[in-house]
Amino acid sequence: MSLKIYIDGKLYDKEDAKISVYDHGLLYGDGVFEGIRCYVGKVFRLDEHLDRLWDSAKAIALEIPMTKADLAKAVVDTLAVNNIKDGYIRLLVTRGVGSLGLDPNKAARPSIIIITDSIALYPADWYQKGLDIVTSSVQRMPPAALSPRVKSMNYLNNILAKIEASNAGCIEAMLLNQKGEVAECTGDNIFFVRKGKLCTPGPDAGILEGITRNSVIELAEKMGIEVCQTPLTKFDAYVADECFLTGSGAELIPVVKIDGRVIGDGTPGPITKKIIERFHKLVRE
């Protein structure tokens, strides 16, 4: 059976799900989105994702033509019609169909798209062995240019860093901000463990505050692990005892090498493993 895609209140077979070439989301990346996970039939932290979606939309003067309650129901209904219990949701709001010009006022009405599908960002054994990543020469977009807190459909900054990672034989890259501080990776937030303390860049580093990131911080604090959100540099990355990435798609995945430098003993560390175990329990509660 073909997957059903939700577009503006109607369900379409995957092969027939189309948007106009005049949609400003396609023409200019003018829109916002969320990547959300579903576990054992329950959408993980849907309210938080919708709150962030609304914040992103408001920040770019985009009015979502549905209530949060109605959009939440549409997400759940789309999962149900596709019989997905464990999967991934891509929720998009585009500026809508307009003219061949930047003026958003020429777009008649925003469009809402809901895609539900399976996802596997990394091979299963990498979660056991860990990733090698590199530092990208591409800087994270500075907040003065475009706030990284807006989860927009324009991901060119991240894509360019992803290309560098691929050219270096890695699947992920770490981006620095304009001050040379660690910000985040192309699609994930980053954490380091040093002397039993869990450290991650704070919001002022120019990051998107991930839903999974915030969940991990809450879990760590409940586990009695000290958490610091603080400016970090490549020095902190190189001397870390452990490192892992977080994201809705990736969940939690260890990092064992950065720029060719071994992190800790080159294997996923004990604190990383404990947090991963607790996270897996959390999403299935």
Residue closest to 161 by CA, chosen among 180, 138, 178: 138
Residue closest to 3 by CA, chosen among 87, 125, 96: 87
14 is catalytic: no
DSSP state of 233: -
Reported for 212-221, long-range contacts at CB under 8 A and 24+ positions apart, including other chains, are: 212/246, 212/247, 212/248, 212/251, 212/252, 212/279, 213/189, 213/246, 213/247, 214/48, 215/45, 215/279, 215/282, 216/191, 216/246, 216/252, 216/275, 216/279, 219/275, 219/278, 219/279, 219/282, 220/275
Tokens of 29: 């990346």
DSSP state of 23: B
Residue closest to 245 by CA, chosen among 195, 182, 172: 172
Tokens of 242: 């452990």
Q: Count other Cβ atoms within 10 Å, centred on residue 221.
A: 12
Tokens of 273: 């493993």
d(CA 109, CA 112): 10
- Catalytic residue from among 4, 10, 14, 151: 151
d(CA 246, CA 202): 14
**Catalytic residue list:** 151
